[in-house]
Amino acid sequence: MRGRLAGLLFTLAALLTCGDAAAMRCGSRLIQHDDLSYQVARLCGEPDYIDRQVGIIVPGFGVLGETEEWYYNRGPQRLVRILTFRNGHLIREETAGYGFTPKSGGGCSPQDLRRGMSKYELLHRCGPPDHRESHYRLAPGAAIANRSVLGVDRLEEWVYDFGSAHFHRIVRLVNGRVEAVELGDRGG
């Protein structure tokens, strides 16, 4: 019994001292929920990319304030960190796969477009789309989903034209992530 209790206490102490393994560290400080955007910028530096969404009115939920997603890309050996702020307060931190280094000398090809890419990586690799549309929808089941803001998904459709030798690529993004890449009309 005493051995089990000691093991349990050791495990509990280890968990308490480990901190959040997914938390972003800037210098000697961990970024925490509700930190202000100016504090994070002062500690971590300016992000590599900021994606801003203006406030919207959602029936049944009210007004959603302005949201910003800050992307930090620290190279291919580290994970891209996405910090989400609403009205200047940190509300979520997540990762978006491993970082990347800039491509040298060439543009994007249709094969570079893949499911799961972040909006930031897509823009970095392929540049702005030739056409873009966006709107919002209630998340499936109207429950608060992992990437949804109060049960609302942000949907975007980007079209890339790779020239007359290729079909257009229609890239569907949900909450800043590529969900699907489909063929469109012949480019030109």
At 113-148, the pLDDT tens digits run 999 988 998 988 898 999 999 887 776 665 444 444
Listed residues 101, 135, 158: the one ending a domain: 101
Listed residues 45, 69, 101: the one ending a domain: 101
Whether residue 66 is found in the same domain as residue 97: yes
Listed residues 101, 118, 147: the one ending a domain: 101
Give the model's pLDDT for residue 124.
86
Strand (E) or helix (H) holding 141: none
Say what the pTM is. 0.72
Q: How many domains does the chain have?
A: 2
Give the model's pLDDT for residue 20.
40
The 8 Å CB, 24+ separation contacts for 27-34 are 31/83, 31/90, 31/93, 32/90, 33/90, 33/91, 33/93, 34/89, 34/90, 34/91
At 5-31, the pLDDT tens digits run 444 434 333 333 333 445 788 888 888
Range of the domain at 165: 106-188
Cα Rg of the chain, angstroms? 20
Question: HSE (CB half, 13 Å, CA atoms) of 129?
Answer: 21
Instruction: Evaluate the CA torsion angle 46, 90, 64, 82 in order and state its sign.
Output: positive
Specify if 176 maps to a domain. yes
Specify if 6 maps to a domain. no
Question: HSE (CB half, 13 Å, CA atoms) of 154?
Answer: 22
State the Cα–Cα distance between residues 52 and 163, nearest whole angstrom. 30
Whether residue 76 is found in the same domain as residue 110: no
Whether residue 94 is found in the same domain as residue 39: yes
Specify if 74 maps to a domain. yes
Give the model's pLDDT for residue 151.
65
